[in-house]
Amino acid sequence: MHSHAGAWEPGKTVNRQPLTVNSISMSSLDVFVDQYLNYLLVEKGLSKKTLESYSSDLTRYLNFLKSKRIKTIFDADTAAILKHLISLRNAGLGSRSRARHLVTIRGFYRFLVEEKVIKNDPTRIIDLPKSGLKLPDVLSLKEVERVLNTPDLNKPTGARDAAMIELLYAAGLRVSELVNLKLQDVNLEACFVRVFGKGSKERVVPIGLYAKEKIDFYKKTFRAKLLKNIASPYLFVARAGKPMTRQGFWKLLRKYGQKAGIIRKIKPHSLRHSFASHLLEGGADLRSVQIMLGHVDISTTQIYTHVAREHLKKMHEKFHPRK
């Protein structure tokens, strides 16, 4: 597939030169793609139409890598593939088309592993649901900013809601984690929150200055007024010093979404997904984002546990749009 000269031609032969580390620049990747397509033709017996689809998908993927100035195949990691899938979704491709793209890319990487060009397959930990690849609903940065700026900071409930929504986005929390946060779990001096996620697993997530300032303002100005002389260990309080329910927060978020002029319904998880996507799109590495989200899938946990908390903080400060 001389990827920029048109469709790949079945039957075209390519000399199988040894695939060496020195020859793995992006420009020579076209040769590997040709070899992969020949392999599919000869050994898998795929049709001309299927091979043309594979060729088109791989061309689009390589063009994406080149547009991101990724110079070698070794630099194309799992995060890069996820970003490519996000770009396909943003370009209007449906879930089935994106799923097909992932199948194509996965097959190519498996071929490179078999040929000993690369050691690890970066597509290995990307799930492909049977119904097709469904990427989560993600808000644009402008949409997120509109929602974040909607609550009235002059009202006690408005200041509380603003701090909650800002923190939800700043730390990528689950709603259950957000509403159950206690005062002792938030360290505003060091800019981090301690979260107890699924299975009571503890994680520490950095937050930026926007979240710090809104939480600080709410605590100093309005928290006591909402409590009305009632003591409560919870950071965000509703009636009688109790934490807000998940359903209560969901209704609030939906109300602010409508006020911000966002037509589709915003779900609490939308901000969590936006947090992860915006970090990835900004250049953060997948492992750091995985830890910040508190994902502990058994098959991938070992990859992530050795990333230091200090590294996470630097990643967050460098890449989060509202630091």
Active site annotation includes 269: yes
- Residue 10: its pLDDT value, please? 43
The CA distance from 240 to 228, in Å, is: 8
pLDDT at 57 over 60: yes
Catalytic residue among 174, 214, 219, 278: 174
Catalytic residue among 295, 311, 322, 323: 295
Catalytic residue among 198, 220, 225, 309: 198
Q: Which of 148, 177, 94 is nearest to 266 (CA)?
A: 148
Domains for the chain: give ranges and CATH numbers: 1-135 (1.10.150.130), 141-319 (1.10.443.10)
Q: What is the pLDDT of residues 148-167, one digit of tens each?
A: 999 999 999 999 999 999 99
DSSP bridge partners of 203: 195
Catalytic residue among 304, 311, 322, 323: 304
Q: What is the pLDDT of residues 170-193, one digit of tens each?
A: 888 888 899 999 999 999 999 999
pLDDT at 247 over 70: yes
Active site annotation includes 84: no
Active site annotation includes 69: no
The CA distance from 244 to 178, in Å, is: 9
> CA dist 121 to 44, 108, 109, 112, 132, Å?
20, 9, 6, 8, 20
pLDDT at 271 over 70: yes
Q: What average pLDDT does the chain have?
A: 78
Helix (H) or strand (E) holding 255: helix 246-259
Catalytic residue among 272, 287, 316, 320: 272
pLDDT bin (cut points 50, 70, 90) of residue 56 is: very high
The CA distance from 18 to 78, in Å, is: 26
- Residue 83: its pLDDT value, please? 85
Give the chain's radius of gyration (CA, Å): 24
Active site annotation includes 272: yes
Token duo for residue 277:
């996507």
Long-range contacts of 22-31 (CB under 8 A, 24+ apart): 24/72, 24/73, 24/74, 24/117, 25/71, 25/72, 26/62, 26/65, 26/66, 26/70, 26/71, 26/72, 26/73, 29/62, 29/73, 30/1, 30/2, 30/3, 30/62
Catalytic residue among 2, 182, 254, 269: 269
Q: What is the pLDDT of residues 196-238, one digit of tens each?
A: 876 667 888 889 889 999 999 999 999 999 999 899 999 999 9
Of 13-17, 153-157, 280-284, 313-317, the range with the lowest mean pLDDT is 13-17
Active site annotation includes 304: yes
Active site annotation includes 174: yes
pLDDT at 309 over 60: no
